[in-house]
Amino acid sequence: METANQSTMPLCWASCSQWLLTGVLSLLVPNWLLAEEAAISISDTTGTLIDEIIVTARKREESLQETPISVTAFSADALQQANMIDLRDIGKYTPGMAFTSYGMGSSEAGAMFLRGIGQSDHMVTTDPGVGLYIDGVYVGRNQGAALDLLDLERVEVLRGPQGTLFGKNTIGGAVNVVSRKPSMENGGEVELTVGEDGRFNVLAAGELALGERTAVRAGVQRKKRDGVGEQIFTREESGDEDSVSARAQLFWQGDAAEFSLAADMTRARQAAMPHSFYAHAPWLGISTCYTNGTGAEPYVPCPSGTEGDPFDSYSLDDLDTEQDLFGLSATWSWDLNDRLSLKSITAYRDMEYLGNLEFDGAPQVVIHYLESGKSDQFSQEFQLVGQNDAGTLNWIAGAYYFTEDGYNLQDDNQFGALDQRRSDVEVSSYAVFGQGTVDLSERVSLTAGLRYTNEDKDYDVVYRSLDANGQQALNDQGQPVYRVPPTSLDDSWDAVSGTVSIQYKITEDAMLYATYSRGFRSGGFGARPSRPSSVGVYDPEYVDMYEVGLKAEALDNRLRTNIALYTSDYDDYQAQVNALADAFDTRTLNAAKAEINGVELELTAVLSPAVRVVGSFSYTDAKIAEVDIDPSLNANFSKGSRLPYVSKYTYSISPQVDVPLPSGGSVLLRADYAYRSAFFGQIANAPEEREGAYGLFNARVEYLSPDEKWSLAAYGVNLADKKYTRVRNYFPGFIGFALWNTDRREFGVKVRYRL
């Protein structure tokens, strides 16, 4: 009986897969795309046309299809063909992912959400819920997370808690950015992009071999584009792009060792993202739209019923932003013997920024903010990786150390009253971890891992009043006036996180897995205390996730289907609450529990050597399950409130045709459509916080020369010119604030030459 089941299983899978391919793709792909290969049936065609994807989700190289983790991987070619410019674009094509921006209006900031979990705030007092890693180095701040996609090998998105191998602040998942590794061969490429609104991007990357064992690889990119919004009265633009990024790597390869010294930097000088104010309290006396006046009132509200462009602002402020990033890392790898290797990753990263927003959009000074910040971090990680002689046991053990020193400085002008708030945080964290995978049989393997983390944080805050000259305000007795006097806090936490996974190989091309994973996000301090009572500490939050999944290939590797179903218990949810007696007494507490359930699907299908389709789908139900706060406090959410930035449904589809030409060259035709359903910008779920559903459509036509040395592409981004918000915050009875998208409709051409 066992033999019969084993022999019929592959046939059943192939039959079901072919039915799925035929039924689904016939609906998704127009008939003209199949005309060239009409005489060739899928069942008659052989050959592996879906490339094997190698990932390092478990800190060792292995096939994506053999990894019992939900991973979306983008190769360098995939990033290029989908017209992706920076890391935010991956959120459009990853199931259950949202990638938004805040950072006091800076488009270089990035806040990632996976499976309903993330953190939009950029303050040093709070930590992200999705970890960002550059070549294995953790990046601890949202500010600067919208990295340029420069000279990369791939980007991996790991969905679900990654608390074992990646550690704290990965309860939603992790994004792993992998630089292109030197090949020990001279070569390079240059690329020029010209498009609408003054688009002018230049990219150059190259490699120089310094011998048989040593090479240097470097790349630089300049991005420039005019703004998509305008300050009406000053004629200044907003939402422009003006940045330079660079990446360099010195690589040496010995007989049993490798060494890499890598550096990266980004410098951006551009105006704030377009922002508008869609709700105002009547007592503020300001409008959402203004026009020129006369005499003593040079600016007057627009006539009743007039609707302004949300990309326009009537502010007279200077809304420039600045961003400077620098990173340096040294990676050593040694093969101690055939079965054992040791790796060391030493890294330093530095981030500085200036953010500039005003929260009224009016020519009057009502609520204006100028914010600066800085973060320095150092990390050291050791990894010992091994396997037994039979190859049936693979394991990794390691130790990790991380320090960070950062601050935020906020200068506020509220109704003419000047204030300044400064928050400083020092972090010291260490962890030890281990994970192993053992083959219990030819078909069954078991993975288990644990991580112990200990963390200390010190916090200093002061919120002082300023006089008209911007100096410390004094009372009648000559004493300094404080909203929050100088205060120091410290706390420490330790946590155990881990994972257990079992996987079963149905066939050589199909694998079932079941995973339990636990992760946590570090505790912290109230981000913006406005009262002494608002200053406080909150504890870590935890997620326990249970997931089952299927990874399968069929039809001679012409169909790849990855499906995951999961449920997560989200405990000690960190949320803002208010004192009943004082609505401005805002505190961050472990105030709730949440439940998250979801389904994710990724599909790659090759209809012929020329035609393929890539698609994704996700369903995410993320809601508050229980509210637990003191009766003297008021939560602005309740049981059943949806978690912020979570769309219930997302999907994407990308048909692609690669047409060979008689000359030996080829033409690539590609379209990309990404959709997400409505979501809320805050957990209160007020109607004013709701962003409606939208879909984004991109297209690309590219010619590749016969020798594959040069290419010419025409592209279109956001062809329907959708207007949507990246951030939507509503302060009840006060003001509604929205940051708008900067990826407005754009047509352009791109030429690339490979040396």
Q: What is the pLDDT of residues 605-636, one digit of tens each?
A: 999 889 999 999 999 999 999 999 988 888 88
Cβ neighbours of residue 41 closer than 8 Å, sequence gap 6 or more: none
DSSP string, 625-687: EEE---TTEEES--TTPBPTT--SEEEEEEEEEEEE-TTS-EEEEEEEEEEE--EESSTT--G
| Residues paired with 587 in a beta bridge | 577
Give burial (CB, 10 Å; 0-12/13-18/19+) of 164. buried
**CA atoms of 542 and 428, how far apart (whole Å):** 20
φ, ψ at 347 (rounded to 5°): -145, 150
Intervals of the chain under pLDDT 70? 1-48, 733
| Residues paired with 717 in a beta bridge | 746
Cβ atoms of 575 and 581 within 8 Å: the answer is no
Q: Number of H helices and number of E strands within the chain?
A: 2, 45
For β-strands 173-179 and 130-134, DSSP reports them as parallel
Cβ atoms of 97 and 114 within 8 Å: the answer is yes
* Cα 387 from chain centroid (whole Å): 33
- Would you state the pLDDT for residue 286? 81
Q: Which two tokens stand for residue 286?
A: 């300001």
φ, ψ at 69 (rounded to 5°): -135, 145
Cβ atoms of 139 and 145 within 8 Å: the answer is yes
Chain segment 447-497, per-residue pLDDT in tens: 999 999 999 999 999 999 999 888 999 999 999 999 999 999 999 999 999
Helix residue ranges, H only, 332-388:
none
- Would you state the pLDDT for residue 578? 86
Please, what's the b/e burial string for 350-376 (b: 16 or more CB within 10 A of its CB; e: otherwise)?
ebbbbbbbbbbbbbbebbbbbbbbbbe
**CA atoms of 94 and 83, how far apart (whole Å):** 15
**CA atoms of 575 and 541, how far apart (whole Å):** 10
**Residue 2: HSE in the Cβ half-sphere, 13 Å Cα cutoff:** 0
- Would you state the pLDDT for residue 565? 98
- Would you state the pLDDT for residue 508? 92
Find out if CATH 2.40.170.20 is the number for domain 2-475+487-754: yes
**CA atoms of 415 and 602, how far apart (whole Å):** 51
Angle at 84 between CA 83 and CA 90, to 5 degrees: 135
Give burial (CB, 10 Å; 0-12/13-18/19+) of 436. middle
Chain segment 303-351, per-residue pLDDT in tens: 887 878 889 989 888 889 999 999 999 999 999 999 999 999 999 999 9
